[in-house]
C-alpha cells in the first residue's frame, strides 16, 4: 500500500434526496460540507445528510466509546 492511502482520512457518503446527489467526502470535512450544502441549496433546512447506515454505525461506535451501553451493577 502507498503512504498516501494510509494517511488519507476515511470517507463518508453524504446524500441529498431532494437534489438526487451523493458525494463521498473526508470524514473530518463532513459536517462543514453538509452545513454548506444545506445553507446554499436548501435555505438551511437539514435535507442533505450522512448515509443513514454510516450515521447509525458512527452513533453505535460513539455510544460504545462513551460507555452508554455498559450495564450498571445494582
Can you state the percent helix, strand and coil of the chain, rounding each to 5? 50, 20, 30
Task: Report the 10 Å Cβ neighbour count for 30.
Answer: 22
Q: Return d(Cα 51, Cα 25) in angstroms, integer.
A: 11
Residue with cell 451501553: 69
**Per-residue pLDDT tens digits for 49-74:** 999 999 999 899 989 999 887 765 55
**Per-residue pLDDT tens digits for 1-53:** 445 567 889 999 999 999 999 999 999 999 999 999 999 999 999 999 999 99
Residue 23 and residue 10 in contact, taking contact as beta carbons nearer than 8 Å? no
Amino acid at each position: 500500500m502507498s503512504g498516501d492511502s494510509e494517511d488519507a482520512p476515511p470517507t463518508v457518503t453524504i446524500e441529498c434526496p431532494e437534489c438526487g446527489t451523493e458525494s463521498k467526502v473526508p470524514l473530518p470535512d463532513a459536517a462543514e460540507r453538509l452545513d454548506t450544502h444545506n445553507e446554499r441549496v436548501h435555505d438551511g433546512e437539514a435535507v442533505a445528510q450522512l448515509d443513514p447506515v454510516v450515521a447509525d454505525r458512527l452513533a453505535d461506535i460513539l455510544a460504545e466509546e462513551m460507555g452508554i451501553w455498559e450495564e450498571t451493577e445494582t
